[in-house]
Amino acid sequence: FYKKLAKRFGKTRVKIPRYILKEYSEQRGISPKDIREYLTFISYTIAKKESNALKLFFKKVKQLRKE
């Protein structure tokens, strides 16, 4: 379950409320469409350090569920 969850994390689309998007677009002088397009280029890779942290997290969750 947790491995599937970790894999899906990088693939999920982040939803930004319109009021936040509008505020940032006005502050920076960029259209909301351009901001959304830019955010599609951001990706997350899980390297060794992140993988170890994720494994530790899963281990702690399993311990909490047993209690």
The per-residue pLDDT for 24 is 92
Helices 18-28 + 32-39 axis angle, to 10 = 110
Give residue-wise pLDDT tens across range 21-54: 999 999 999 999 998 888 888 777 778 888 888 8
pLDDT category of residue 10 using cuts at 50, 70 and 90: low
Q: What's the pLDDT score for residue 60? A: 87
Distance CA 35, CA 16 (A): 10
Is residue 8's pLDDT more than 80? Answer: no
User: What are 12-26's pLDDT values in tens digits?
Assistant: 777 889 999 999 999
Write out the two tokens for 30. 């960029």
Rounded distance, CA 67 to CA 58, Å? 15
d(C-alpha 5, C-alpha 27), whole Å: 35
CA quadruple 28, 31, 33, 38: dihedral positive or negative? negative
